[in-house]
Amino acid sequence: MQSILMTKESSAFFELRSKGDMNNIEEITKAVKKAGATRVLVQIPAGLKTKADEIATAIEKNGTEVIVSASPMYGACDLADKEAKQAGCDLLVHIGHSKFYVDFKTEVPVIYYPWEYDVKLENVDFSAINEKRIGLVTTIQHMKLLKDVSVILKKSDKEAVIGGQILGCWFANATKIEDKVDAFLFVGSGRFHPLGIKTDKPLYSLDIERNEVQKIDAMLFEKKRFANIYNAKNAASFAILVSTKEGQRNLIGRAEEIKKQLQQKDKKAFIVIMDEINDATLQGVKVDAYVNTACPRLADDAFSKPFVNASDINILLEE
């Protein structure tokens, strides 16, 4: 296990990797003790909240006070560092993700702990994949699985090209190998991550919970995207959405540019800033459509009005 300590202006972070529930908790506890924190805020994803009591108990045995955040958490762009400072904590333990690819200052130092899972793949049937060269991508928790999948694919007379980790808003590791592969295989669970890969090549998912391979219909996502753009073309008023989440809040400048673009087309537009962007929170805002400058994957959610990502504003405004 490798530990990394970095300090940048007023921001600092440790990044750790481990595996096994007890080993994960032990490593987190050691890192908190090493940091010398007196009170920590533990930020944990929904899937690991059942471990919150064990984590808090283990850390407190060393004399460190623990507060657990129960707020939704969507990624390393969504840090609870302000909440940590407000609660008098001198450290944030962010579980479930590695450090975000965009640097930003934090109110308190942050320990990023990806929490790797032990998964054993058995009797995986790759017959659904017809292509020869397969690009492998996954989330941080399952990075070690890519080598295992590579070996199994070779036994199926296929060539594996390892891309690495992807995020819901960052796909550079897929893009860099696109010219070397005939198809992509996402190793993990759910379709949130692979649907964000912009490619004309076939997409597959190896669901590690079901131990099965399925083809992903990326066209469903694209159809929804263009339907939103089409439905927003005749909108007279827009709310331009900006998130206060750490990794997204620097987009206020982009929102101001979009506001000017819309006004130049005789559209009414104003900027709305909020922490969690969802349809329920936006109820009552009297506009015809939304333009989103925050996480692009919000477009996958259900909204009662046309919802267009900032990257599609030029398509929206085409004559």
Residue 85 reports pLDDT greater than 60: yes
CA angle centred on 183, ends 179 and 184, rounded to 5°: 100
Average pLDDT over residues 145-157: 92
The confidence score (pLDDT) of residue 13 equals: 61
- Which among 170, 162, 163 has a CA at the least distance from the CA of 76? 170
Contact status, residue 288 vs residue 237, Cβ threshold 8 Å = yes
Residue 65 reports pLDDT greater than 90: yes
At how many degrees (to 10) do helices 52-60 and 21-35 cross?
40
Residue with the larger pLDDT of the pair 105 and 289: 289
Confidence of residue 2 (pLDDT cuts 50, 70, 90): very low
Side-chain half-sphere CA neighbours of 147 within 13 A:
2
The confidence score (pLDDT) of residue 18 equals: 47
Instruction: Supply 4's token pair.
Output: 């990394």
Average pLDDT over residues 10-36: 75
- Which among 71, 72, 73, 91 has a CA at the least distance from the CA of 81? 91
Beta bridge partner(s), residue 6: 13
Residue 218 reports pLDDT greater than 90: no
Confidence of residue 249 (pLDDT cuts 50, 70, 90): low
For the chain, give the mean pLDDT.
88
